Copies of this chain bind each other. A is one copy, B any other.
């Protein structure tokens, strides 16, 4: 069939470069991994930085710690009553004015402004009642060791909470107040992501081998705290934007030739996938390489993985994976890999606007090579999907494009 010829042609197009043995191909990514392991910067915490001002970040806490935090918060309230100051909570402010970008950490954290939430004030009486109710519900959840969604939490007392926005906001307040992540409170996000490859772990006691998950993969668990004993011989983590590319990689068992862990959130990353990625990165200390569409939306997705979103900034250390390498599809790839004109799509007005906004963002400006790529995209006004690589044959992605990229260490 004609496609075989197409792949050979594509190989020739890739500047006559030959793909060497798998071992050779992996050399550069392995030295990147070695750098990471050697680096002590990877897991800086606020405490280690010794900043001249106070900041607040939440950490994962185990069941007993969370129960102790809740009980100590309630003792604090009781003490306030005994001191004649009445029933009141001390709630850290999550307002924009209290958020701050810490360059040493390369993420946004909260300053230490705290506001009182007294019961004996018409302004905060209802909110104080909601706070105690949610504190009690979370105490129950953690005590019983079960997990629920924010929606479930809302439905336990619709009369009091009135709408889900209110119970969600107080839940985030509580996470800040108790100094622990929302998943430590056993309130979890719904899952969307899948994973395959050289990875084994235990989930709620079950042994999971992601190399034996067929082509469908393993659904990423909504509660990352039930994941333990993470183990892997992978050289890198391949973060994929779309499930079509994920499927191609899984079906071709790409991870058998090039030991890696393949992960996708199928579009916009959800909290569960971000937590899971961060957990893998921290535990395994291997590079994360990203394969996204060559358009501003692909970069937006990278930014969510790397920087998180503003309204979860108190939890940024658990949700963000700062040092993700942009492997492809990059604007400069379109010419280098001779992607046919028909597979290049014109950018819409909206795309161009989003692209221009991205150029202003810290996480792009921090990396001059990213700026160059984005400028190239905006100048050419052309975007392309990962699937554009299919124009050279269905398996071009796994047999040519990715091996070449890895071999040349072509990430930025």
Interface digits, A132-154 against B, CB 8 Å rule (1 contact, 0 not)? 00001101110110111101111
Checking B137, B215, B247, B340 against A159 with a beta-carbon cut-off of 8 angstroms, the contacting residue is: B340
Given A203-B214, A216-B221, A219-B219: A391 and B158 interface contact (C-beta under 8 Å): yes
> Which residues does chain B contribute within 8 Å of A207, judged by CB atoms?
212
Interface digits, A170-211 against B, CB 8 Å rule (1 contact, 0 not)? 000000000000000000101110100000001111111000
Report A181 CB to chain B, min CB distance, Å: 17
A214 to B3 CA separation, bound complex (whole angstroms): 41
A343 to B226 CA separation, bound complex (whole angstroms): 31
A1 to B252 CA separation, bound complex (whole angstroms): 52
Interface digits, A342-371 against B, CB 8 Å rule (1 contact, 0 not)? 110000000000000000000000000000
Checking B144, B191, B212 against A216 with a beta-carbon cut-off of 8 angstroms, the contacting residue is: B191
> Which residues does chain B contribute within 8 Å of A63, judged by CB atoms?
none
Copies in the complex: 2
Chain A interface: which size bin? 35 or more
B216 touches A156 (CB 8 A): no
B213 touches A218 (CB 8 A): yes
> Which residues does chain B contribute within 8 Å of A139, judged by CB atoms?
1
Checking B153, B218, B244 against A218 with a beta-carbon cut-off of 8 angstroms, the contacting residue is: B218
A388 to B220 CA separation, bound complex (whole angstroms): 26
Interface digits, A306-330 against B, CB 8 Å rule (1 contact, 0 not)? 0000000000000000000000000
B190 touches A266 (CB 8 A): yes
A221 touches B226 (CB 8 A): no
A216 touches B244 (CB 8 A): no
> Which residues does chain B contribute within 8 Å of A220, judged by CB atoms?
216
> Which residues does chain B contribute within 8 Å of A390, judged by CB atoms?
148, 152-153, 155-156
- Please tell me if A395 contacts chain B, counting CB pairs below 8 Å: yes
- Please tell me if A233 contacts chain B, counting CB pairs below 8 Å: no
A3 to B140 CA separation, bound complex (whole angstroms): 8
Checking B157, B190, B202, B389 against A244 with a beta-carbon cut-off of 8 angstroms, the contacting residue is: B190
Checking B159, B205, B342 against A158 with a beta-carbon cut-off of 8 angstroms, the contacting residue is: B342
Q: Which residue of B lies closest to A139 (CB)?
A: B1
Q: Which residue of B lies closest to A227 (CB)?
A: B214
> Which residues does chain B contribute within 8 Å of A244, judged by CB atoms?
148-149, 151-152, 190
Instruction: Beyond the given A144-B394, A155-B391, A206-B213, please list 14 additional residue pairs across the A-B interface where CB-CB is below 8 A.
Output: A2-B136, A144-B395, A148-B394, A154-B387, A155-B388, A156-B393, A157-B391, A158-B342, A191-B247, A205-B214, A206-B214, A213-B219, A214-B226, A216-B218
| 25 A–B contacts, CB within 8 A, in A order | A1-B140, A3-B156, A141-B394, A144-B395, A146-B251, A147-B251, A148-B244, A149-B244, A151-B385, A151-B387, A152-B248, A152-B390, A153-B390, A156-B394, A158-B340, A191-B216, A191-B243, A204-B214, A206-B214, A208-B213, A214-B226, A215-B222, A215-B226, A216-B218, A222-B243
